[in-house]
């Protein structure tokens, strides 16, 4: 039905897709899988007209197409439902489905929008998805899951042929996911072709007929879902072999390794007990001792970043306890976490990390200054000395430390953020994907630096999507999956062991 061949797409010269083929049949649910940067979202953008096709061809029902806008793709029969519901919560359910396409009354009957027909059609449409709600109520009074369904109803009403679901399940609980799947199966029966993008491996197997895997902008392969097991799927996504291994075996290994670390005499810098937040992560139990690097592994969406946010007071936990050096602490905002000598390098460097127009020096001393209060200013000589020495220590390559930080390369910006953290002399340093978007040499430097800091007695929590990096420096590795902590592995373990835990199927959901 839809055949994309040899798609090549680049952003400002950087290739994002390199000769990718993708085919979609009527009446199937086709999962599109890949890690961050694999090219999934670029492929979707090309298909939906958010990006104009650069090279390659897209054929829909025997006709070559080249949608230039979202609207054009919709007219051709391709609709998309995004992760965050792109509807207007202040409008009624029925209006959201028909916004911009409201049925009009004939002029002889007064003209204007025909609300009766509109509401009636919305009811019929939703009934087709097995939903019975008051379509006149405002959308925001319904759960995210229902809003998602309304978005799907809108999409199929506009064009009932190709439906792209881009991570629709990220904010749904398991009952809601089941409802969504029922609707998807029903649409499949009616002959619609559905592209399903998700990070949750178990969900892929629950509904998909075929799976296409992308990696680094290239096609890895297209497989019937029944013939590709969990381990093989993860292997295809990360690009290496993963030995099939029972999850239960490593869970016992996990307990043993936890017991062995308990022999170290020093009390843990940080210890969490059943730390949880609704909609974020459940029951996190971590323990980090001085001189230790605790690695946090997991796929995108597994809850890695959410743990960091809880530990730094960016989100408030609604259950559990955090202890620093044995004493319980409450971390309600970043300033409190900083006062408790925790430092944090966020994943989103540009939006959450650097203050772009400020100088490199100002960026480095910002947190230290904030901790010193409103009135005490770091004397200029100390400020210069501190920033110079940190720049030297971390090898920040900048012609002039008084230049705006925005002028630096990504790797050097990252080093500045580490420098900002180090300037406060933290006991616990949390790094969320500190090596993302940085070249190989830069990555190596940052890894070496982490090892050096741990050797000096600092406790580190190192979050990364790249397992080989984690293994290189971590004392222990905690694995997250589907927003739960699923096991702990000792530092010397193999990549296979980590991937086995990452990829293990959950007990509840299965095809």
Partner 1 sequence: MSASALPAFDRRLVPLSATMLLFCAMVVFGALAYDGFLAPQVFLNLAIDNAFLLIAAIGMTFVILTGGIDLSVGSVLALTTMSAAALVEHAQMSPLLVIPLLLVGGAAFGALQGFLIHRYRLQPFIVTLAGMFVARGLCYLIDTESIPVRDPLFVTFAEMRIPLGASSLSFGAAIAIVTVAAALWVAHATRFGRTVYAIGGNARSAALMGLPVGGTLVGVYALSGFCAALAGLTMTVYMLSGYSLHAVGLELDAIAAVVIGGTLLTGGVGYVAGTVVGVLILGIIQTLVIFDGTLSSWWTRIVVGLLLFLFCVAQRLIEGRAK
Partner 2 sequence: MNPAARKLLALPLFWPCATLALLVVLNAIVNPGFLALEWRDGHLYGNLIDILNRAAPLALVAAGMTLVIAARGLDISAGAVVAITAATGALCVSATGSLALAIAAALAAALACGLWNGLLVVAVGMQPIIATLILMVAGRGIAQLITGGQIITIYFPPYDYLGNGFLLGLPFAAVLALAVIVALHALLTATPLGLFIRAIGINPLAARIAGVRARPITLALYTFCGLTAGLAGLIISSNVKSADANNAGTLLELDAILAVTLGGTALTGGRFSLAGTAIGALIIQTLTSTIYSLGVPPEVNLVFKAALIFVVMLLQSAEFRASIRKLAVRPPEAA
Strand order of the β-sheet with 210-215 is 78-81, 162-166, 193-197, 29-33, 210-215, 218-224
Q: Total binding residues for partner 1 by CB under 8 A?
A: 26
Cβ burial of 373 (10 Å; 0-12, 13-18, 19+) is exposed
Only one residue has tokens 């009957």, namely 109
144 belongs to the binding site for partner 1 (CB under 8 A)? no
Nearest to 166 by CA among 182, 188, 186, 148: 148
Residue 270's DSSP bridge partners are 288, 324
Size of residue set near partner 2 by CB under 8 A: 31
Contacts (Cβ under 8 Å, ≥6 apart) of 391: 360, 364, 398, 401, 419
Nearest approach in angstroms of CB 88 to partner 1 is 3
CB atoms within 10 A of CB 484: 17
Residue 134 is a binding residue for partner 1 (CB under 8 A)? yes
Query: Does the footprint of partner 1 cover residue 278 (CB under 8 A)?
Result: no
Tell me the three state secondary structure of residue 448.
helix
Query: 440-455 and 410-423 are packed helices; what angle lies between their axes, rounded to 10 degrees?
Result: 10
Structure tokens at 312: 């730094």
- Selection from partner 1, partner 2, none that 141 binds (CB < 5 to 8 A by kind) is partner 1
Half-sphere exposure of 319 (CA within 13 A, CB side): 11
Task: Give the residue with the Cβ less far from partner 2, 277 or 289.
Answer: 277
- Per-residue binding string, partner 1, 15-54, x by CB under 8 A, is ----------------------------------------
Q: Between residues 39 and 426, which has the closer beta carbon with respect to partner 2? A: 426
Region near partner 1 per CB under 8 A, out of 94-102, 183-191, 468-476, 493-501 = 94-102
**213 bridge partner residues:** 33, 221
Contact call for residue 315 and partner 2 (CB under 8 A):
no
Tell me whether residue 217 or residue 353 sits nearer to partner 2 (CB atom): 353
- Listed residue (288, 289, 280, 328) closest to 307, CA to CA: 280
Task: Name which position in 226, 319, 355, 403 contacts partner 2 (CB under 8 A).
Answer: 355
User: Which of 165-173, 189-197, 347-355, 497-505 is the region at the interface with partner 2 (rule: CB under 8 A)?
Assistant: 347-355
Q: Pick what 86 binds: partner 1, partner 2, none; C-beta below 5 to 8 Å, kind-dependent.
A: partner 1
- Could you say whether residue 8 binds partner 2 (CB under 8 A)? no
143: contact with partner 1 by CB under 8 A: no
Binds 109: which of partner 1, partner 2, none (CB < 5-8 Å by kind): none
Residue 301 binds partner 2, judged by CB under 8 A: no
What angle separates helix 360-372 from helix 380-393, to the nearest 10 degrees? 120
Asked if residues 502 and 199 have their Cβ atoms less than 8 Å apart, the reply is no
Kindly compute the dihedral angle of the four CA atoms of residues 408, 414, 419, 425, in this order, to the nearest 10 degrees.
160
Q: CA 381 to CA 383: how far, in whole Å?
A: 5
29 strand-pairing partners: 194
Q: Are 50 and 33 within 8 A, CB to CB?
A: no
Residue of 26, 276, 329, 370 that binds partner 2 (CB under 8 A): 370
Q: In the window 49-88, what residues touch partner 1 (CB under 8 A)?
A: 70-71, 74, 82, 85-88
Q: Is 375 in the site for partner 2 (CB under 8 A)?
A: yes
**What binding mask, one character per residue, do residues 114-133 give for partner 1 by CB under 8 A, x or -?**
-x------------------
Q: Is 95 in the site for partner 1 (CB under 8 A)?
A: yes
Burial class (CB in 10 A: 0-12, 13-18, 19+), 227: exposed
Residue 498, CA atoms < 13 Å, CB-side half-sphere: 28
- Residue of the chain from 357, 382, 385, 439 that contacts partner 2 (CB under 8 A): 357
Residue number, 74 or 216, with CB nearest to partner 1: 74
Window of 102-110, 129-137, 262-270, 364-372 that interacts with partner 2 by CB under 8 A? 364-372
Give the residue, chosen from 142, 200, 344, 499, that forms a contact with partner 2 under the rule CB under 8 A.
Answer: 344
Q: Using CB under 8 A, list all residues that contact partner 1.
A: 70-71, 74, 82, 85-91, 95, 99-100, 102, 111-113, 115, 134, 136-138, 140-141, 154
Contacts to partner 2 by CB under 8 A: 312, 314, 333-335, 337-338, 344, 346, 351-358, 362, 365-367, 369-372, 374-378, 420
């Amino acid at each position: 039905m839809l055949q994309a061949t040899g798609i090549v797409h680049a952003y400002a010269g950087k290739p994002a897709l390199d000769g990718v083929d993708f085919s979609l049949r009527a009446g199937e649910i086709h999962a599109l899988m890949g890690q961050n940067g694999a090219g999934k979202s670029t492929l979707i953008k090309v298909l939906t007209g958010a990006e104009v096709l650069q090279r390659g061809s897209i054929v829909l029902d025997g006709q070559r197409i080249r949608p230039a806008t979202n609207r054009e793709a919709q007219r051709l029969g391709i609709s998309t439902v995004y992760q965050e519901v792109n509807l207007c919560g202040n409008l009624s359910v029925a209006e959201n489905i028909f916004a911009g396409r409201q049925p009009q009354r004939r002029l002889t009957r007064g003209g204007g929008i025909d609300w009766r027909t509109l509401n009636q059609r919305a009811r019929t449409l939703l009934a087709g998805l097995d939903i019975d709600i008051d379509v006149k109520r405002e959308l925001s009074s319904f759960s995210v899951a229902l809003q998602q369904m309304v978005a799907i109803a809108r999409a199929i009403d506009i064009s009932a042929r190709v439906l792209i679901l881009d991570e629709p399940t990220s904010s749904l609980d398991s009952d809601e996911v089941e409802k969504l799947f029922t609707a998807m199966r029903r649409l499949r029966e009616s002959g619609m072709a559905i592209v399903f993008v998700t990070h949750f491996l178990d969900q892929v197997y629950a509904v998909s007929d075929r799976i296409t895997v992308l990696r680094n902008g290239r096609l890895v392969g297209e497989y019937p879902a029944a013939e590709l097991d969990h381990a093989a799927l993860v292997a295809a996504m990360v690009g290496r072999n993963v030995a099939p291994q029972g999850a239960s075996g490593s869970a016992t290994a996990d307990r043993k390794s936890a017991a062995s670390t308990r022999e170290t005499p020093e009390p843990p810098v940080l210890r969490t007990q059943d730390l949880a937040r609704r909609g974020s992560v459940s029951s996190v139990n971590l323990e980090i001792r001085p001189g230790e690097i605790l690695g946090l592994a997991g796929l995108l969406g597994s809850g890695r970043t959410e743990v960091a946010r809880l530990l730094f007071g960016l989100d408030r936990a609604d259950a559990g306890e955090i202890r620093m050096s044995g004493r319980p602490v409450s971390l309600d905002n970043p300033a409190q976490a900083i006062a408790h000598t925790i430092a944090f390098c966020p994943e989103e460097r540009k939006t959450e990390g650097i203050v772009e127009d400020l100088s490199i020096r100002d960026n480095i001393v910002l947190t230290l200054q904030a901790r010193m209060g409103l009135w005490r200013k770091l004397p200029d000589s100390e400020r210069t000395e501190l920033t110079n020495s940190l720049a030297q220590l971390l090898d920040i390559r900048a012609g002039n430390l008084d230049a705006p930080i925005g002028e630096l390369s990504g790797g050097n910006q990252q080093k500045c953020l580490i420098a900002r953290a180090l300037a406060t002399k933290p006991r616990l340093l949390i790094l969320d994907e500190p090596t993302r978007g940085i070249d190989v040499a830069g990555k190596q430097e940052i890894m070496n630096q982490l090892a050096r800091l741990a050797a000096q007695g600092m406790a580190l929590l190192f979050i990364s999507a790249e397992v080989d990096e984690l293994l290189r420096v971590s004392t222990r590795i905690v694995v997250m999956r589907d927003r739960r902590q699923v096991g702990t592995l000792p530092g010397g373990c193999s990549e296979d062991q980590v991937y086995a835990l990452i990829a293990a199927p959950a007990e509840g959901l299965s095809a």
